[in-house]
Amino acid sequence: MNYNEPLLWEKGEGLTTGYSFPKESVPQTESNSRHLRDNFFLPSFSEPVVARHFTRLSTWNYGVDTDIYPLGSCTMKYNPKIHERIAQLKGFSDSHPLQDDNYSQGALEILYKTGEYLKEITGMDDVTLQPAAGAHGELVSMLMFKKYFKEREENRTTVLIPDSAHGTNPASATMCGFKVKVVPINSDGYLMPEVVEKYMDESVAGIMITNPGTLGLFEPYIKEICDIVHSKGGLVYGDGANLNPLLGQIKVGDCGIDAMHINLHKTFSTPHGGGGPGAGPVCVKKLLSDYLPSPGVKFNGTNYYMDYNNPKSIGRVHGFNGNFSVVLKACSFILSQGAEGLKKISEVAVLNANYVRVKLSEFYHIPYSADSMHEVLFTDKYQKKIGISTLDIAKGLIDRGIHPPTIYFPLVVSDAFLLEPTENESLKSLEHLIDIFIDIAKEAEYNSQKLKDAPTKSVINRVDETLAARHPVLKGEILGRD
Ligand SMILES: *Cc1c(COP(=O)(O)O)cnc(C)c1O
């Protein structure tokens, strides 16, 4: 592997070209490519040089297809390639959303049925597939809450959010004009009904709860909390980004959740991260159905159709029907797993996280004693005494060929690192991860300087992250010739 790959701008090869145009049938004009090359420093290369440059760069990527990617809160799991194939089938990829419903029955059926599956999985009454991401689903839900109270002529200004929540929750509520009141979790990591009760009154529109929470723990009092919020007329939002450990185990609708987003790009087989499209469908209870984004996909017993007749809707939140290919991959994944398969996913995901937890408990501090759900939280408390931090542990993983877990999150736990192995990892792969973590704990004790210098085997070694953020050096801009 060549780790000394200069930028194309730095290795310009003069007047080489990688293409040859057909002979021109019209006279050359100023606006052709020569004009570009003469007036800007565009480097020129032969085709093999360009192919090798980008192929080498691609080998520097780390992804779920490289090795375990234990990024807590993010569910970075393997996406079976067959679902990409299905999304590429010509009947789907060549169809256009402006085609008449009559000519799009297959695509509409996919949308409708995926919505039905998600309703079944969550135990909710209705669904929108429009939102493009988890945070977008949160925003849609907060807009619906707002409209719901406006219709009822209730002036509710505040949303309650536990201090362990994902940062997108307060951002979404704030963007809708709600004030955020932070509710503290207790020392066991749980949101307690009596605390919610203290904060809950008629000025509160609702609460945003993530279950399992970002500490990797199931909220045992979820039902009581929902009852308290409902008794004061409020609504409950469930952040369903962590659905992986609940599949086939419980229906969140039964717990009292009124609206919840699901990250198809975490749980249902779409690559997550790297900027590709995602989808954050929102499932709701009946009382919010009228406010869902419009149009929705309906079935009249014979035909599937787009339903635009939604006078109370918050409106459109995405072009056409959301990110269709992501919904299609989710549909394909759900059907390939079946109900039993989905249940197995959650069982194995939880088992894997707890296996890592127990095996590493002797080496790393675990701040909360309860069993984990799909992810497990550690801190650097044992290593801190010898001058090794969570950051050093993460950097040590890079030298051992593994992507670090989520670090310094959630914010309520100092120096945390959050590991989510997912159901994809075999026992052998988990043992490999565990051995690496144990090796790092030992290196912290016997050769701590080496860990402080890590990573030394990566393309870029330890950087001053503050400096890098404050004074970024951006090379390769297109510079006009002066
Ligand atoms: C990932 C995540 C989100 C946000 O999802 P995006 O698709 O990245 O917008 C929200 N809440 C939790 C708990 C998450 O893990």
Question: What are the boundaries of each domain within the chain?
Answer: 81-336, 340-470
- Distance of CA 238 from the midpoint of ligand 1 (Å): 12
Other beta carbons within 10 Å of 386:
12
CATH architecture of the domain 81-336 equals 3-Layer(aba) Sandwich (3.40)
Q: Is the CB of 270 under 6 A from ligand 1?
A: no
- Distance of CA 190 from the midpoint of ligand 1 (Å): 20
Q: Beta 204-210 vs 158-162: how paired, if at all?
A: parallel
How far is 197 from 92, CA to CA, in rounded Å?
Answer: 50
Q: Is the CB of 156 under 6 A from ligand 1?
A: no
Task: Decide which of 2.40.10.10, 3.90.1150.10, 3.30.70.1400, 3.20.20.100 is the CATH code for 340-470.
Answer: 3.90.1150.10
- Longest alpha-carbon distance in the chain: 81
How far is 239 from 134, CA to CA, in rounded Å?
Answer: 8
Q: Is the CB of 420 under 6 A from ligand 1?
A: no
Beta bridge partner(s), residue 307:
296
Report DSSP state, residue 24: P
How far is 297 from 118, CA to CA, in rounded Å?
Answer: 14
Same fold, 81-336 and 340-470: no
The contacts found for 183-186 with CB under 8 angstroms, 24 or more apart, are 183/207, 185/213, 185/215, 185/412
For residues 196 and 207, is the Cβ–Cβ distance under 8 A? Answer: yes
The residue whose CA is least distant from atom 12 of ligand 1 is 241
The residue whose CA is least distant from atom 2 of ligand 1 is 241
Question: Which atom of ligand 1 lies at the shortest distance from residue 135's CA?
Answer: 9
- Distance of CA 75 from the midpoint of ligand 1 (Å): 10
Please report, in tens digits, the pLDDT of each residue of the chain (482 residues total). Answer: 556 788 887 776 666 666 676 777 877 665 656 665 566 666 778 888 889 999 988 888 899 999 999 999 999 999 999 999 999 999 999 999 999 999 999 999 999 999 999 999 999 999 999 999 999 999 999 999 999 999 999 999 999 999 999 999 999 999 999 999 999 999 999 999 999 999 999 999 999 999 999 999 999 999 999 999 999 999 999 999 999 999 999 999 999 999 999 999 999 999 887 667 999 999 999 999 999 999 999 999 999 999 999 999 999 999 998 999 999 999 999 999 999 999 999 999 999 999 999 999 999 999 999 999 999 999 999 999 999 999 999 999 999 999 999 999 999 999 999 999 999 999 999 999 999 999 999 999 999 999 999 999 988 889 888 988 898 877 654 444 33
Question: Which atom of ligand 1 lies at the shortest distance from residue 136's CA?
Answer: 9
pTM assigned to the model: 0.91
Q: Is the CB of 192 under 6 A from ligand 1?
A: no
- Distance of CA 275 from the midpoint of ligand 1 (Å): 14
Question: Which atom of ligand 1 lies at the shortest distance from residue 133's CA?
Answer: 7
Question: Which atom of ligand 1 lies at the shortest distance from residue 165's CA?
Answer: 13
